[in-house]
């Protein structure tokens, strides 16, 4: 009996280096996924999920990692399903990046499951309720996102509408600079107005816009002289036989 009293309680167990490492890693994964698109206008991790659901998923990465570090059962209750979602819903177009994300998610899932089975989590009165509420919120937001038009559908809609209305300002609704440039080019060709090409940020796309418009003007020296970017003016006019 004396020995049993002196035995440490399960919730007082140190979670060990592996769990600590993956807890910090899942927190960092969530933080990077939330910050990366803001800084670089591109996702770090890509998932077959709506944009709002991705934000919630990455927030749950952070919450679950903190919970596991604190040895709380709700940390595991959240970590296990979100790691499973990350494993099954990875959608990076680059095969290597996609496999890397899947392998990372599988490792996380395995380590957290092992930690749970070994009793590293302290049971809390509302642990299951907290985790259940978090997962329900995630599912509801994904259901909402599922019924919204995707980013590609919105891009196509605005590009088509801009061409139909011959109004390049409609292209401003497209977030991606790359696809916004394509939209500007489409309106430019509809109006036969190369001045719209100036709005395109990417130099190669801007050059393509001027090159495609050149066919409407033939070997028109004035057209070439109106191209303000010297490098593009030389390429377009030399390639198509106009003035330089």
Per the domain annotation, does 23 fall within a domain?
yes
Per the domain annotation, does 13 fall within a domain?
yes
Domain shared by 62 and 139, yes or no = yes
Q: Which residue, among 202, 183, 184, 204, has the nearest Cα to 194 in the 3D structure?
A: 184
Per the domain annotation, does 159 fall within a domain?
yes
Indicate yes or no: pTM above 0.85: no
Domain that holds residue 213: 151-239
Per the structure block, which two tokens stand in for 119? 């009793």
Domain shared by 158 and 227, yes or no = yes
Using only the alpha carbons of the chain, give its radius of gyration: 27
Domain shared by 22 and 138, yes or no = yes
Domain shared by 15 and 126, yes or no = yes
Domain shared by 107 and 165, yes or no = no
3-state secondary structure of 72: strand
Residue 237: predicted pLDDT: 78
Mean pLDDT confidence for 41-57: 84
Distance CA 126, CA 174 (A): 43
pLDDT surpasses 80 at 239: no
**What is the rounded average pLDDT for all residues in the chain?**
86
Choice between 4 and 236, residue whose per-residue pLDDT is larger: 236
Give the Å distances, CA to CA, from 145 to 34, 55, 150. 17, 11, 8
To the nearest 10°, the Cα dihedral for 137, 142, 143, 147? 140
pLDDT band at 240; cut points 50, 70, 90? very low
Per the domain annotation, does 122 fall within a domain?
yes
Residue 11: predicted pLDDT: 46
pLDDT band at 7; cut points 50, 70, 90? very low
Domain shared by 10 and 112, yes or no = yes
Residue 131: predicted pLDDT: 93
Give the residue from 131, 146, 161 where a domain finishes: 146
Give the Å distances, CA to CA, from 98 to 52, 62, 92, 128. 21, 21, 5, 31
Residue 47's DSSP bridge partners are 90
Per the domain annotation, does 244 fall within a domain?
no
Q: Which long-range contacts (CB under 8 A, 24 or more apart) does 113-116 make?
A: 113/80, 115/15, 115/16, 115/19, 115/68, 115/76, 116/76, 116/80
Domain shared by 226 and 212, yes or no = yes
- If you search the block for the tokens 């590009």, which residue do you land on? 159
Residue 103: predicted pLDDT: 95
DSSP-derived secondary structure for 54-70: HHHHHHHHHHHHHHHHT
Domain shared by 136 and 202, yes or no = no
How many helices and strands in the chain, by DSSP H and E? 11, 0
Give the residue from 84, 115, 146 where a domain finishes: 146
Per the domain annotation, does 116 fall within a domain?
yes
Per the structure block, which two tokens stand in for 136? 């329900």
Q: How many domains is the chain built from?
A: 2
pLDDT surpasses 70 at 244: no
Per the domain annotation, does 228 fall within a domain?
yes
3-state secondary structure of 122: strand
Domain shared by 81 and 164, yes or no = no
pLDDT band at 233; cut points 50, 70, 90? confident
Give the residue from 101, 125, 146 where a domain finishes: 146
Per the domain annotation, does 140 fall within a domain?
yes
Domain shared by 231 and 168, yes or no = yes
Domain shared by 18 and 107, yes or no = yes
Domain shared by 201 and 172, yes or no = yes
Instruction: Quick: pLDDT tens for 164-216.
Output: 999 999 999 998 888 899 999 999 999 999 889 989 988 888 888 988 888 88
């Amino acid at each position: 009996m004396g020995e049993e009293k002196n035995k440490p309680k399960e919730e007082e167990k140190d979670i060990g280096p592996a769990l600590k490492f993956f807890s910090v890693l899942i927190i960092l994964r969530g933080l990077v996924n939330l910050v990366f698109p803001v800084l670089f206008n591109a996702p770090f991790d890509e998932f077959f999920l709506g944009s709002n659901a991705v934000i919630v998923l990455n927030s749950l990465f952070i919450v679950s990692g903190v919970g596991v570090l604190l040895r709380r059962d709700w940390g595991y209750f959240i970590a296990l399903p979100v790691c499973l979602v990350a494993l099954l819903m990875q959608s990076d177009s680059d095969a290597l990046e996609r496999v890397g994300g899947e392998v990372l998610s599988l490792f996380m899932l395995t380590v957290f499951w092992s930690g749970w089975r070994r009793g590293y989590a302290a049971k809390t009165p509302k642990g299951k309720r907290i985790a259940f509420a978090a997962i329900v919120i995630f599912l509801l937001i994904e259901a909402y996102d599922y019924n919204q038009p995707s980013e590609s559908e919105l891009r196509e809609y605005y590009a088509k509408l801009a061409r139909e209305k011959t109004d390049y300002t409609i292209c401003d609704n497209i977030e991606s600079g790359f696809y916004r440039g394509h939209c500007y080019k489409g309106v430019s060709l509809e109006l036969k107005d190369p001045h719209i090409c100036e709005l395109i940020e990417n130099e190669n796309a801007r050059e393509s816009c001027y090159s495609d418009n050149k066919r409407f003007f033939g070997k028109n020296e004035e057209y070439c002289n109106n191209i303000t970017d010297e490098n593009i003016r030389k390429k377009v006019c030399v390639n198509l036989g106009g003035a330089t």
